[in-house]
Structure 1
């Protein structure tokens, strides 16, 4: 009887049922799309941080910036050239530590002993700056003697003076970034943000090998291939692999064993960054506090800290999806539920004689209430099904279009003290941004993944919306008295 009556009423009131279901469907679809886009934003931000931070890295430890003492000048590269023969080529090669600040290699052991640290590995970020060119001496040319009696002439036919003409200097500057990686721990650090597309990566035994892995973009620029050699400070290294960044800018253009990097840069037992993996993502803040307390003179940066420095359209869209989109979608859903409730209550008012007659025939108030609730719940399920279908279609459309968003790294992300601060934040991936404006911007394709949790939330919202809407009408129907209802004439 319940289902027979339910089917008849829904068929007889199809327009009203469709309006209620459509309202709920709109709110549910909006919730699905916004939640999916927000999830896509988080994935995009994760890609940005991985390209800067290193897969599996939860924290980085770097040397705290030291304020220069009074009268002390900031460190900067210095180039000196000999006074050689005219036209002889001049060359100067400098391998410099990025930021000019280092930590003792023993810091890695100290950090690894902290509670909550699963793994720690050190690395050395370097910049190679090579200047090649030549000086050309100018030629001194005697001034032409003035004509006697002519303009400016002295009348004695003598002249004097002269000037240097020609000469100058022309120099080419070649700069690239290097990262000394601890080959004994290959699963942590910036090299993990790239995939080896040719050759191979380092073996764990190649701690002092004259081998390098080159970023694919730099290899293409310099015409390098596996098996060829790359010269760094007059030392030849064999290219054993070509690495392609998984997303965005590569962490460095050249990777070499840490010991070789320390030797070439005169940085024995020195590192610039410690990459840390926590035992549990929930303990990252506790690990950060422990390191700051027990390892003096360091700055600890988490992925959340780096995320705050990411701006551009990715940040704007993420804020809209998180702050505006979710609240708007929930507001629309609440409004749809309220409208559905009012429509259901209004429908009950128009069915006063019907319910009064049923009560006179023996229906109890509970049975009338269940009948109204059943109708509203079916409307909610229909609305939920429509909403899930529309929401999935919307999320698929976003993924198919894949709009490109930009993630810009502010100057505060590059150095601890803003522009010119000198200390690279987050390791060599951030240092790569110094190559030019393009290095500060990453292009990310937006997707809208729909999780099982999101679909489950939509089902719960559909059921909840139907129950709330039915609650209005059920409360109204339960208060009807047969005598009063039979006196009403529609």
Structure 2
């Protein structure tokens, strides 16, 4: 009897049911779209952070910045030997630790022993500057007027009182090319952490665990294309040739370094034995990252710990703006629309009950209890809510699919993380200014394609909202229906 009456009433009031269901569907669809876009924003930000930290890295440990005026910073110097042949090319390499701040390699073990740390690995980030060019000698030209007018002077000689010919040097100078690229020393025995994990080997192979001190290298695909490098060729770093065993392509489109070599080799060419610039840390529990950060800073002095959340705060550009809109404006807008939809559904159901006074009064006169009438109204509202849920899920999935299909491109600009930098790292935008893996000093811009993935949790939330909307609407109408009396129906008939 319940379902028969329910089906008949819903068919008879199709327009009213469609209005209620459409209102709920709008709110539910908006919730799905906003949730999926927010999820896509989070994935995009994670992709940006992985381009610096590498996959699986929760935080990095670097040396604390030196106090201003403490003398802890260096500046690049280039020295050239004097050569008789002015046409001979002068060439020199300078390998510099990015940021000019290093930690003892033993810091890696200390970090790894802290509570909550699952794994820790060190890396050395370098900038190599190669200067090539030549000097040209100037030509001395004597001042003729000075030479002729100098006779009989106090010195008795030609050209002036000091006996030296007067003239000037013309021409001469120097012409040099500067080639700068970044090198990252990676621990080949632990390749699960660090910036290289954000790239995929597209040609050749990655490092072997036995190549701790081998003269081998992996080059970024963009750098390899620019310099016409390939597997089997060599790349020269400070006079040492490294055989290229692999070419990597960064997932985010921008690699953390141009060239990767074993950590021990990087320490050798940089004259930084047993030194690292960055310790990459993976926490055993992602919920305890702040606790691990506090423990490292407390137990290991002179260090700066930067988490993914800290780095995310430095992200600007359209990705950051869109993320803020999705998380703030979008969230509150969806809540407001959903609340409005619930209220409208409740008011429409209550209004429908008011128009059915004669019907419910007659049913009560025939023996229906108030509870049965209330259940009937709630049942109708619940079906309307489920219909709205199905429609809202369909519209929401369609909206998310459109966002993913269009894949709008957002830009993410990463600024300074504020940890352990000095010298050139502060404000230079050129190759020397890049802070290297895990300690970005110069701004870095990435283009990220936005997607809108819909999770099963979002679908379940939508179903829950549909049921809640139906129950709320049913509560409004059921309360009105339970207060009706048979006498009210008799007055309507009269």
TM-score normalised by the chain length of structure 1? 0.92
Aligned to 1:403: 408
Does structure 1 residue 298 correspond to structure 2 residue 306?
no
**From 202, 209, 215, the counterpart of 1:204:** 209
- 2:341 is paired with a residue of what secondary structure? helix
Q: Is the 8 A contact 1:29 1:391 kept in 2?
A: yes
Q: Distance in 2 between the 1:216 and 1:465 partners?
A: 54
CA distance in 2, matches of 1:360, 1:311: 68
Query: Shift of residue 168 of structure 1?
Result: 1.6
**2: CA distance between counterparts of 1:309 and 1:413?**
10
Counterpart among 197, 200, 207 of residue 195 in structure 1: 200
What is the 5 A alignment of 1:310-459? 310-412=315-417, 420-421=425-426, 428-429=436-437, 434=442, 440-459=444-463
Quick check: 1:411–1:418 contact (8 Å CA) kept in 2? Answer: no
Pairing 1:134–2:134 present: yes
**How far apart are 1:4 and its partner, in Å?**
1.6
Alignment of 1:9-48 (within 5 A): 9-48=9-48
1:209-265 alpha-carbon deviations (Å, 9 max, x no partner): 000000111111110010111111111110000010011321111000111111111
SS for the counterpart of 2:437 is helix
How far is the alpha carbon of 1:73 from its aligned partner?
7.7
Residue 267 of structure 2 corresponds to residue 267 of structure 1 = no
- Contact 1:48/1:248 (8 A) holds in 2: no
Distance 2:491 2:218 in 1: 90
Q: Does 1:53 align with 2:58?
A: no
Unaligned runs of 5+ in 2: 149-158
Is this contact kept in 2: 1:102–1:271, CA < 8 A? yes
User: Do the aligned residues in 1 keep the contact of 2:65 with 2:419 (CA within 8 Å)?
Assistant: no
Residue 231 (structure 2) pairs with residue 223 (structure 1): no
Task: Measure the CA separation in 1 of the matches of 2:422 and 2:182.
Answer: 21
Query: C-alpha distance in 2, partners of 1:249/1:161?
Result: 59
Q: Distance in 1 between matches of 2:223 and 2:199?
A: 13
How far off its partner does 1:141 sit? 3.1
The alpha carbon displacement at 1:470 in A equals 0.9
Give the drift of 1:432. 7.0
* Residues paired across the two proteins, number: 475
Whether 1:75 aligns to 2:79 is no
Aligned to 1:246: 251
How has the CA–CA distance of structure 1 residues 415 and 44 changed in structure 2, closer, same or farther, with 3 Å as cutoff?
A: farther
CA distance in 1 between counterparts of 2:193 and 2:489 reads: 76
Q: Which moved more, 1:361-370 or 1:29-38?
A: 361-370
RMSD over equivalenced CA pairs, Å: 2.4
Instruction: Measure the CA separation in 1 of the matches of 2:25 and 2:177.
Output: 65
- Distance change (3 Å), C-alpha of 1:264 and 1:419: closer
CA distance in 1, matches of 2:417, 2:310: 11
1-structure distance, mates of 2:412, 2:372: 59
Partner of 1:243: helix, strand, or coil? strand
Aligned counterpart, 1:468: 472
SS in 1 for 2:363: helix
Is the partner of 1:201 in helix, strand or coil?
coil
Per the alignment, residue 65 of structure 1 pairs with 65
Alignment of 1:95-114 (within 5 A): 95-114=95-114
Q: CA deviation at 1:30?
A: 0.2
Conserved 8 A contact 2:62-2:419: no
Q: How does 1:82-97 map to 2 (within 5 A)?
A: 82-85=81-84, 86-97=86-97
Partner of 2:184: 179
Contact 1:215-1:253 at 8 Å conserved across structures:
yes
Cα deviation, 1:184-219, whole Å, max 9, x if unaligned, reads 101111111110000111100100000000011111
Query: What is the SS of the residue equivalent to 1:214?
Result: strand
SS of equivalent residue, structure 1 residue 488 = helix
Q: CA deviation at 1:82?
A: 2.7
Q: Which moved more, 1:81-90 or 1:196-205?
A: 81-90
Give the unaligned 5+ runs of structure 1: 149-157
Structure 1 residues 435-457: Cα deviation after superposition (integer angstroms, max 9, x where no partner): xx6xx101000000000000000
CA offset at residue 11 of structure 1?
1.4
Give distance in 1, aligned partners of 2:324 and 2:81: 57
Aligned-pair CA distance for 1:413: 5.5
Q: Deviations over 1:64-98 (max 9, x none)?
A: 1111446x484111112233222321112100101
Alignment of 1:149-188 (within 5 A): 162-188=167-193
> Using a 3 Å threshold, how does the CA distance of structure 1 residues 488 and 417 change in structure 2: closer, same or farther?
farther
Contact 2:183–2:260 (CA<8 Å) still a contact in 1?
A: yes
Change (3 A) 1:144 1:489: farther
For 1:2, the equivalent position in structure 2 comes to 2
Distance verdict in 2 for CA 1:173–1:425, change over 3 Å: closer
Structure 1 residues 358 and 378, CA gap change in structure 2 (3 angstroms): same
Measured in 1, the distance between the counterparts of 2:448 and 2:35 equals 18
Relative distance call for 1:133 and 1:393 in structure 2 (3 A) is same
Distance 1:33 1:450 in 2: 8
* C-alpha displacement of 1:115: 0.9
Query: Do the aligned residues in 2 keep the contact of 1:414 with 1:425 (CA within 8 Å)?
Result: no
Question: Residues 384-409 of structure 1, C-alpha deviation per residue, up to 9 Å, x if partnerless?
Answer: 00000000000000000000001001
Instruction: Indicate the residue corresponding to 1:258 in structure 2.
Output: 263
